C-alpha cells in the first residue's frame, strides 16, 4: 500500500508552504520597521535599505543556484533553504539585542533568511513542474497563489498578535514564524521528489539557453512581469491612505492586503479555469488590464479611482509570473533547473527595477507619485507587445 507521503500531492503541499515561507521572509520584517526605529534608534533611510539587501541577496542566490542546485539535489536544497529561513527569523529575535550595533544584528538576520528565500525561489517551481500532474499551467498558477495567501496571513496574524500581546513582544512572533520553515523542512524530507525531463544529452547548458531566442523572450516577460507587479505594489499603501481617507497604519494594511488578495484570487481563478483558456491570450488580456490600472492610478483626479486602479493591477499581475514560467517550461524542452533559476533572477531583477523607476521619475517631478506610475506603464506595454508579437509570429504555439 502506498503511504500518504509517497503521493505527489504532498510534494505540491510542501511547495505551497514553501511559498508561504517566502511571503514570511519578504513581508514580516517590514511590519516592524517603525518599531526598529523607535526601539533601536535606527534611522529610516538605513531601515529602508534592509528591503534592498533582502532582494539583492536573493538575486545573488538565484545566479549561484544556476550552477549549484542540480549538483546538490532538490531535496537537500529545499531543506537547506528552509533551515536558512528559520535561522534568520530566530536570529532576528535575539541577535539585535546581543550586538552593540543593533542594525548590524538585524542586517545579518535578514541576510541569513534571504539566502533561504533565494534558494526557495529557485527550486520550488521546478520541483512542482516535475510532479506527474496533467494541467501544469493550472498547478503552477495555484502554487504561486500561496505566496499571496502567505502575505495576507502574515499581515493579518501579525497585526492580531500586536493588538493582543503588544508590538513590543514581536520577538516571540518571529520565533513563531520560524516554526513554519522548520516544520516544512521536515516535510520536504518525507515527500517524494521528482526530476525534470532530460533529453538524450541531459539538460540544456547555460550556453544553449543563452542562444535560444525563446529563452530571451521569456526573460523579457519575466523582467516586465516583476516590474509591473512591484512598481504598483510598493505604492499600494499610499493609494489606500489617500483613496480611502484612512490613517497611515490602516493604509499600510489595506493597500497591500487588497493587492495581495486580488493577485491570489487571479491565480486561483486561472488554476480552476485555465485548462479551458488560451494562456497566451489570457496573459495579453491581463496585461491590458494592468495597463488600464496604471492609467487609472496615474491620470485620474479621483483618489478612489486611483485606488481602484491599484487594485485592478493586483488582479491583472497575478498570472504574469506563473504564466511566464509555464510558457517557458512548455516551449523550452529540457531547460532544467538552470532555466528556472535564470527566470527567477529575471523576475527579481524586475521587482527591484520597477519600484526604482517609479520612485526616480516621481522624485524628478517633485515627488509626484502619479508621474512615476505614468512612466511605469512601459512595463505592461512591453509585456503586451511581446505576447502579441509571439502570437503573430507563432514563436510559442499554444496547444
Q: Is 399 inside a domain boundary?
A: no
pLDDT at 202: 64
Of the three residues 148, 172, 195, the one that is the final residue of a domain is: 195
Domain span holding position 22 = 1-195
Residue 202, SS3 per DSSP:
strand
Residues 166 and 252 in one domain: no
The whole-angstrom distance between residue 88's C-alpha and the CA centroid of its chain comes to 19
Q: All 3 cell numbers of residue 228?
A: 509591473
Residues 237 and 164 in one domain: no
Q: How far apart are CA 55 and CA 349, in angstroms?
A: 9
Which CATH number do you get for residue 332? 1.20.1250.20
Q: Is 308 inside a domain boundary?
A: yes
Of the three residues 162, 195, 228, the one that is the final residue of a domain is: 195
**Mind listing the pLDDT tens digit for each residue in 200-233?**
556 777 788 888 888 888 899 999 999 998 888 7
Residues 245 and 341 in one domain: yes
> DSSP label at 335?
-
Instruction: Give the torsion through C-alpha atoms of 275, 279, 281, 284, to 10 deg.
Output: 140
pLDDT at 75: 92
Residues 109 and 254 in one domain: no
The string of DSSP letters for 111-173 reads: HHHHHHHHHHHHHHHHHHHHS--S-HHHHHHHHHHHHHHHHHHHHHHHHHHHHHH-GGGHHHH
Residues 54 and 174 in one domain: yes
pLDDT at 50: 84
Residues 36 and 12 in one domain: yes
Q: Is 52 inside a domain boundary?
A: yes
The count of structural domains within the chain is 2
Residues 83 and 207 in one domain: no
Q: Is 67 inside a domain boundary?
A: yes
List per-residue pLDDT tens for the chain, 399 residues long.
344 567 888 999 999 999 999 999 988 888 887 788 888 888 877 886 787 788 889 888 888 877 788 788 889 999 999 999 999 999 999 999 999 999 999 999 999 999 999 999 889 988 988 888 877 778 888 888 999 999 899 989 998 998 899 989 999 999 999 999 999 999 999 999 887 766 555 677 778 888 888 888 889 999 999 999 888 877 777 666 666 666 666 776 777 888 889 999 998 988 887 777 888 888 999 999 999 999 998 888 887 888 888 889 999 999 898 888 888 888 787 777 788 888 888 988 888 888 778 878 877 888 777 888 888 899 999 999 988 877 665 544 444
Q: What is the pTM of this model?
A: 0.85
Q: All 3 cell numbers of residue 28?
A: 514580516
Residues 176 and 202 in one domain: no
Instruction: Please name the residue ranges forming H helices in the chain.
Output: 8-27, 33-40, 44-72, 74-98, 102-130, 136-165, 170-190, 206-211, 213-233, 236-243, 248-273, 279-299, 303-316, 320-331, 336-364, 369-375, 378-393
Residues 161 and 270 in one domain: no
pLDDT at 242: 62
Rounded to the nearest 5°, which phi and psi values hold at 222? -65, -45
pLDDT at 345: 87
Closest by Cα among 252, 226, 249 to 239? 252
Q: How far apart are CA 319 and CA 143, in angstroms?
A: 11
Q: Is 84 inside a domain boundary?
A: yes
pLDDT at 315: 93
Terminal Cα-to-Cα distance of the chain (whole angstroms)? 36
Angle at 120 between CA 4 and CA 161, to 5 degrees: 85
Residues 180 and 246 in one domain: no
pLDDT at 1: 37
CB 272 within 8 A of CB 138: yes
Residues 204 and 187 in one domain: no
Q: Which residues pair with 199 in a beta bridge?
A: 202
Q: Is 105 inside a domain boundary?
A: yes
Of the three residues 176, 195, 214, the one that is the final residue of a domain is: 195
Q: All 3 cell numbers of residue 182?
A: 522548520
> DSSP label at 199?
B
Residues 258 and 365 in one domain: yes
Amino acid at each position: 500500500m502506498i503511504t500518504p507521503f509517497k503521493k505527489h500531492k504532498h510534494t505540491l503541499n510542501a511547495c505551497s508552504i514553501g511559498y508561504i515561507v517566502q511571503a514570511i521572509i519578504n513581508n514580516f520584517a517590514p511590519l516592524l520597521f517603525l518599531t526598529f526605529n523607535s526601539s533601536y534608534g535606527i534611522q529610516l533611510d538605513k531601515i529602508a535599505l534592509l528591503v534592498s539587501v533582502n532582494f539583492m541577496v536573493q538575486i545573488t542566490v538565484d545566479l549561484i543556484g544556476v550552477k549549484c542546485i542540480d549538483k546538490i539535489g532538490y531535496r537537500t536544497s529545499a531543506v537547506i533553504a528552509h533551515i536558512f529561513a528559520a535561522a534568520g527569523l530566530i536570529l532576528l529575535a535575539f541577535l539585535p539585542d546581543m550586538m552593540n550595533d543593533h542594525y548590524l544584528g538585524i542586517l545579518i538576520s535578514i541576510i541569513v533568511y534571504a539566502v533561504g528565500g533565494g534558494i526557495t525561489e529557485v527550486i520550488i517551481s521546478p520541483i512542482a513542474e516535475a510532479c506527474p500532474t496533467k494541467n501544469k499551467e493550472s498547478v503552477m498558477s495555484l502554487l504561486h497563489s500561496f505566496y499571496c495567501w502567505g502575505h495576507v496571513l502574515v499581515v493579518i496574524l501579525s497585526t492580531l498578535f500586536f493588538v493582543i500581546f503588544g508590538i513590543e513582544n514581536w520577538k516571540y512572533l518571529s520565533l513563531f514564524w520560524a516554526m513554519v520553515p522548520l516544520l516544512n523542512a521536515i516535510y520536504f524530507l518525507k515527500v517524494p521528489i521528482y526530476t525534470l525531463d532530460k533529453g538524450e544529452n541531459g539538460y540544456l547548458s547555460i550556453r544553449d539557453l543563452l542562444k535560444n531566442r525563446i529563452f530571451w523572450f521569456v526573460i523579457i516577460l519575466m523582467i516586465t512581469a516583476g516590474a509591473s507587479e512591484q512598481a504598483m505594489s510598493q505604492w499600494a499603501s499610499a493609494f489606500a491612505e489617500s483613496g480611502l481617507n484612512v490613517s497611515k497604519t490602516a493604509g499600510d494594511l489595506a493597500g497591500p492586503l487588497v493587492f495581495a488578495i486580488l493577485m491570489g484570487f487571479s491565480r486561483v481563478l486561472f488554476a480552476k479555469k485555465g485548462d479551458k483558456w488560451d494562456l497566451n491570450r489570457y496573459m495579453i488580456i491581463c496585461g491590458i488590464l494592468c495597463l488600464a490600472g496604471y492609467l487609472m492610478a496615474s491620470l485620474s483626479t479621483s483618489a478612489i479611482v486611483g485606488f481602484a486602479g491599484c487594485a485592478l493591477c493586483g488582479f491583472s499581475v497575478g498570472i504574469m509570473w506563473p504564466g511566464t514560467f509555464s510558457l517557458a517550461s512548455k516551449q523550452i524542452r529540457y531547460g532544467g533547473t538552470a532555466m528556472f533559476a535564470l527566470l527567477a533572477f529575471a523576475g527579481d531583477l524586475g521587482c527591484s527595477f520597477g519600484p526604482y523607476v517609479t520612485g526616480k521619475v516621481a522624485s524628478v517631478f517633485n515627488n509626484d507619485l502619479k508621474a512615476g506610475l505614468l512612466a511605469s506603464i512601459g512595463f505592461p506595454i512591453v509585456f503586451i507587445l511581446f505576447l502579441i508579437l509571439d502570437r503573430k509570429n507563432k514563436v510559442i504555439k499554444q496547444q
